[in-house]
Amino acid sequence: MARLGIDFGTSNTAAGIMAAGRPHLIEIEPGRNTMPTSVFFDHDRRVTIYGNSANTALIDGREGRFMRALKSVLGTPLMRERRQIAHERLTLLDVVARFLQMIRERAEAATGDTFDRALSGRPVRFHSADDGRNAQAEVDLRDAYHLAGFTEVQFMYEPEAAALASGPLAKGDLGLIVDIGGGTSDFSVFARDGDATQIIASHGVRIGGTDFDRAISIAHVMPLLGRGADVRNALGSGTHVAPNAIFNDLATWQKIPFVYTPDNRRMVADFVKLGVDPALFARLNSVLDMELGHDIAFAVEAGKIRLNAPDVMDTGIDLRVIEKALWAKLTKAQMAAVLADQAAQISDCALQTLEMAGVAPSRIAKVVFVGGSSLLHVVEGAMVALFTDATLERAEAFTAVADGLAMAASRDLPL
């Protein structure tokens, strides 16, 4: 039986095999070899749809439950809690398993092979600060693969897979993989001797593109919905600031599906009555009433991407789905300021990786950027500042991990 390389990502997923001596990414959506890691449970049609079709169903306003960034929930108690999702009671483990089963079935249909074994990418650290959750995350992902019909699954660190697929590196030189995904940032120092790639050290931190989106949303969108605004006390005089929890959850991709609770709806209805500026909370009430959390998250992501263009210095986050003519202004300088802490943590993790490898930054001859979030100016700028003499490689940022997993899967050797 063949072994399938799968890059199951927080934001996007790809699968690959070797063909004619080269990594070949499988067309898992029509005309595409990557797909959003998105799931939509259609209430009316009682079907589950995936990828770009799931995103479209959400944007079209179909009745159902949309989920994204499920990889970030691995290792947490939420993963195995059974809850009502559309017409079924499921755990999030079941949801991830169904997504992986869909990938397996589409790969089998596209290639004519049967895949009962998988080589899966995984971040170096699913959870930076909690060793128990980090270990449990791999257990969860392994269980999901087994539920998806794979009898065997092995794991490989994602930046190490990307190192296999990176371009030429002169003998004696060292390279650094900078893999900034949707949920984690991972680094590998590597060397190459002919076709053999040597991994010297790998390290990671739980910061990624969805965290960038969250920070931007909290700073520039949530204040338009009442974050930081005053609410009059229900009894007696005085005011208090609206609690941050609902705004933080609404800005967090994986928590959005669980924001629309009766308790939150009642709380926000009280804010509308008691808010010093009730118009702000009326917007929040509309978001809950129409379940627009993911629409906001996509708008924030789109604004971030637009602002990353070299010739764009300011943009707007389009919130007209909430209210006519509502936009959140965002400049390049503001985005850099909002993401400064994340950029500093990413830089620290890169330096820690070099310390583990026992090399100075000046020894890095090439920096390879992997993952869409690695191409953000704030990330690239931080890496350029650290590795002033290194050449930069960006050519395969979106597929390098999947390519490397396809290469490693073909070897059929213990990892």
Helical spans, DSSP H, in 208-292: 209-220, 245-250, 262-274, 278-290
Q: Are residues 101 and 182 in the same domain?
A: no
Measured between alpha carbons, how far is 383 from 178 in angstroms, rounded to an integer?
9
Contact 101/149 with Cβ under 8 angstroms? yes
Instruction: Pull the structure tokens for residue 29.
Output: 């959506």
What is the domain count for the chain? Answer: 2
Domain co-membership, 124 together with 161:
yes
Residue 134 falls in which region: left (phi positive, over 0), alpha (psi -120 to 50) or beta: alpha
CB 70, CB 93: distance < 8 Å = no
Same domain, 102 and 218: no
- Whole-prediction pTM: 0.94
In this structure, is the dihedral angle defined by the CA atoms of residues 388, 393, 394 and 398, taken in order, positive or negative?
Answer: negative
* 299 shares a domain with 185: yes
Same domain, 406 and 368: no
Distance CA 214, CA 388 (A): 30
Domain residues for 85?
A: 2-166+396-411
Mean pLDDT, consecutive 10-residue stretches, the chain (415 aa), reads 91 96 95 96 92 94 93 96 90 97 97 96 96 97 98 97 94 96 97 91 97 98 98 92 98 95 97 97 98 97 95 95 96 97 98 98 97 94 96 90 96 57
Same domain, 62 and 147: yes
Q: How far apart are CA 389 and CA 375, in angstroms?
A: 19
Is 171 in contact with 336 (CB distance < 8 Å)? no
306 with 362, same domain? yes
| Whether residue 153 sits in one domain with residue 25 | yes
pLDDT at residue 235, rounded to an integer: 86
Contact assessment for residue 159 and residue 408, using Cβ atoms and an 8 Å cutoff: no
Q: Are residues 161 and 18 in the same domain?
A: yes
Q: What is the pLDDT of residue 411?
A: 84
Tell me the residue ranges of DSSP E strands in 194-344.
196-205, 230-232, 239-241, 314-318, 327-331
Q: Residue 412 has what pLDDT?
A: 59
Residue 60's φ and ψ, nearest 5 degrees, are -75, -10
Cα dihedral: 193, 124, 99, 182 (round 10): -100
pLDDT at 52: 97
Same domain, 235 and 149: no
CATH code, domain carrying 31: 3.30.420.40
**Residue carrying the six token digits 């990502």:** 9
Q: Are residues 276 and 289 in the same domain?
A: yes
3-state secondary structure string, the chain?
CEEEEEEECCCEEEEEEEECCEEEECCCECCECCEECEEEEECCCCEEEEHHHHHHHHHCCCCEEEEECHHHHCCCHHHHCCEEECCEEECHHHHHHHHHHHHHHHHHHHHCCCEEEEEEEECCCCCCCCHHHHHHHHHHHHHHHHHCCCCEEEEEEHHHHHHHHCCCCCCCCEEEEEEECCCCEEEEEEEEECCEEEEEEEEEECCCHHHHHHHHHHHHCHHHHCCCCEEECCCCCCEEECCCHHHHHHCCHHHHHHCCCHHHHHHHHHHHHHECCHHHHHHHHHHHHHCCHHHHHHHHHHHHHHHCCCCCCEEEEECCCCCCCCEEEEEHHHHHHHCHHHHHHHHHHHHHHHHHHCCCHHHEEEEEEECHHHHCHHHHHHHHHHCCCCEEECCCCCCHHHHHHHHHHHHCCCC
Do 83 and 151 lie in one domain? The reply is yes
What's the CA gap between 130 and 135, in Å, rounded?
Answer: 9
> With the CA atoms of 317, 321, 326 and 327 taken in that order, what torsion angle do they form, in degrees rounded to the nearest 10?
0
